[in-house]
């Protein structure tokens, strides 16, 4: 790559909004988890998009009637650690011949789930 080309590529790189950075700081905890490569790539794409745009503003189409101010002071935490959950809190199955897929805080719980043998949950 020539010096001119690298300068052009650098100038075209999207700027990160300072307001988005606190939201993304804890997400780095997910970089070294055991997720599939496509999940990691999807997270990286989403983080980069959010870093350049930040939270939506009311002036943006589709967000003009959504009040997101309550989110501005909210702190989210991300963890790749296993979630602890009391299995006794699970309700009975709705149908006796059905299967159950349990997600706790967005994490799949194979020990609490009942899926067919030929189904892989990723």
Say if residues 26 and 76 touch (Cβ distance below 8 Å): yes
Compute CA 98 distance to the chain's CA centroid, rounded to the nearest angstrom.
29
Residue 92 pLDDT: 85
Say if residues 82 and 107 touch (Cβ distance below 8 Å): yes
Residue 50 pLDDT: 82
For the segment 50-97, what is each residue's pLDDT rounded down to a tens digit? 888 877 888 888 888 888 888 777 777 766 676 777 888 888 888 888
Q: Tell me the pLDDT of the chain averaged across its residues.
A: 76
Residue 35 reports pLDDT greater than 70: yes
Return the bridge partners of 107, or none: 104
* C-alpha–C-alpha distance, residues 40 and 105, integer Å: 18
């Amino acid at each position: 790559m020539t010096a001119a080309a690298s300068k052009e590529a650098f100038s075209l790189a999207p700027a990160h909004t300072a307001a988005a950075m606190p939201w993304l700081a804890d997400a780095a905890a997910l970089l070294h988890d055991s997720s599939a490569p496509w999940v990691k790539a999807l997270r990286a794409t989403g983080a980069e998009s959010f870093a350049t745009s930040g939270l939506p503003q009311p002036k943006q189409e589709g967000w003009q009637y959504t009040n997101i101010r309550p989110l501005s002071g909210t702190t989210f935490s991300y963890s790749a650690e296993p979630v602890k959950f009391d299995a006794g809190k699970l309700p009975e199955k709705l149908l006796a011949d059905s299967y159950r897929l349990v997600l706790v805080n967005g994490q799949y719980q194979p020990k609490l789930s009942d899926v067919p043998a030929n189904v892989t949950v990723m």
